[in-house]
Amino acid sequence: MPEGLIVKALSGYYYVSSLDQDGRPVSGEATVQCRARGIFKKKEITPLVGDQVVYELTENGEGMVKEIRKRVTELIRPPVANTTLAVLLFSLREPDLNLPLLDKFLVHIEHAGLDTIICLTKRDLYEGSPSEDDTVLAVQEIYRKIGYEVLVTSARTGEGTAELKNLLAGQISVFSGQSGVGKSSMLNALQPGLTLETSAISNKLGRGKHTTRHVELIPLDNGGFVADTPGFSQLDFLELGVDELSPCFREFQQYAESCKFRGCTHIHEPGCKVREAVEEGHISQGRYDSYLQFYQELKEKKRRY
């Protein structure tokens, strides 16, 4: 039986692209519209976009998913399997750069165990004054110091797009970020001939409308796939426990190991090396402020439930 990759899931159907021996989509072949075996529902298993599957063709030209190969990763939101890389797109303008929200996305991605690229979009809307350039450089410095890849891009001028595309080769990546930051525009710039719908920014609200209604893998011509996912203007910590927050701030780790108390929350305990690192400028004050905000959100969630 043939093997394939689920590239789209919609209304109970799974659209499967055939794969060659190297795991790449077979050029020129249309996807096969498949249903899943009833046994999956009994076992409470849901096929996901990104799953590698074994399927068989049925008499009506459609297919039946018979087996799901073991997953490397599994995201709950967006529901995608086998992603290894997250690209977080945040715009410099329209909407303005929101670092606390970027930090919240990073917490979710760290918890999921994915590698991350931070992609600052809409560089063409920045006027390029010395103060604005200093802001971009400062943001790059904060997150590169932590260990993140940070690209400054413009889908309109092409700045940074070739570098981004090279990093996506051969991987299943998930594109995510606040609504209206230009995810669809960036995908159109990365893949010639792609014509994803883009949206204008609402002047009243300062944010974009969602143009992506479902998760779908978009093939790139370098063997990569990108999951274009619905934008989020808010995230909550549904899957995260309060004790799991600190490890999601990767720059805390080298200091947290030397804290006086095991299980230090890095908020009020004496002998906290993380707070000491903040005071000495080794950890960004803005990142630490995000940590405090998220810690309080998690405590409030725990009280409600």
296 known member of a binding site: no
* Residue 118 three-state SS: strand
Distance of alpha carbon 8 from alpha carbon 2, whole angstroms: 18
122 known member of a binding site: yes
259 known member of a binding site: yes
Distance of alpha carbon 296 from alpha carbon 305, whole angstroms: 14
* C-alpha dihedral (216, 162, 97, 110), degrees to nearest 10: 60
185 known member of a binding site: yes
Decide: 201 and 95 in contact? Cβ < 8 Å: yes
Distance of alpha carbon 62 from alpha carbon 15, whole angstroms: 10
Distances from the Cα of 165 to the Cα of 3, 83, 141, angstroms: 26, 16, 22
Tokens representing 111 are 């918890």
Helix, strand, coil share (%) of the chain residues, nearest 5: 30, 25, 45
**Scanning the structure block, which residue is given the tokens 């619905």?**
230
108 known member of a binding site: no
Distance of alpha carbon 181 from alpha carbon 168, whole angstroms: 19
248 known member of a binding site: no
178 known member of a binding site: yes
119 known member of a binding site: no
Distance of alpha carbon 299 from alpha carbon 291, whole angstroms: 12
87 known member of a binding site: no
131 known member of a binding site: no
CB neighbourhood size of 189 (10 A): 22
301 known member of a binding site: no
**In sequence order, what are the beta bridge partners of 32?**
16
271 known member of a binding site: no
180 known member of a binding site: yes
42 known member of a binding site: no
204 known member of a binding site: no
Decide: 76 and 239 in contact? Cβ < 8 Å: yes
Distance of alpha carbon 235 from alpha carbon 232, whole angstroms: 7
Decide: 40 and 47 in contact? Cβ < 8 Å: yes
Annotated binding-site positions for Zn(2+): 259, 264, 266, 272
Please report, in range form, the residues annotated as the binding site: 121-124, 177-185, 259, 264, 266, 272
- Binding site, annotated residues for GTP: 121-124, 177-185
